[in-house]
Amino acid sequence: MRNLSQGRTVHLLDVENLVGAPRPALGEVVTMMRLYRRRVPAGGMDQYVAAVNHGAMLPVGLALAGIQLLVRSGRDGADEALREVIRLDHLHIRFERVVIGSGDGAFTDLADWLRGRGVQVVVVSRPGALSRRLRRTAGQVISLEPPLDLAA
């Protein structure tokens, strides 16, 4: 069954965390995703799952058309939705690599659990927003710091 995962990657995007705003505007999400795609290697068969609170659903849904969008209200609702995907969708069987697009320490235990099952775990985070625990647990960390041509 492990062969099902070979060469497959899933990207789990905590959009609010990656943008740095609880209700990001359409332009902020477009800019974040453009930067994400420039910084994070992806293959043609990669899957993307994004999660947001209900107040960000419209701009995020428009900006990330074609990407599976999970909506969960409440404090840490988006985090909870992504953590459920890790647990309930058997990502450790279906994917060789899981990219967690968040610096939130709430993903530390699940990242450790995935690594313990032989899954490569990559964390993508904004500079200064990455939990120390998550940084130590991740197999690789990619900074979502914009290059100079995008930062201006």
pLDDT band at 79 (very low <50, low <70, confident <90, very high): confident
Residues 6+ apart with CB under 8 A from 111: 98, 100, 121, 123, 134, 137, 138
* Percent of the chain clearing pLDDT 70 (strictly above): 93
**Average pLDDT over all residues of the chain:** 89
152 or 142: which leads in pLDDT? 142
Cα–Cα distance for residue pair 108/152, rounded to 1 Å: 33
User: The pTM is what?
Assistant: 0.90
What are the residue boundaries of the structural domains of the chain, listed by start? Answer: 2-151
Average pLDDT over residues 83-95: 86
The pLDDT tens digits of the residues spanning 30-54 come to 999 999 999 999 988 899 999 999 9
Kindly report the CATH class assigned to 2-151. Answer: alpha beta
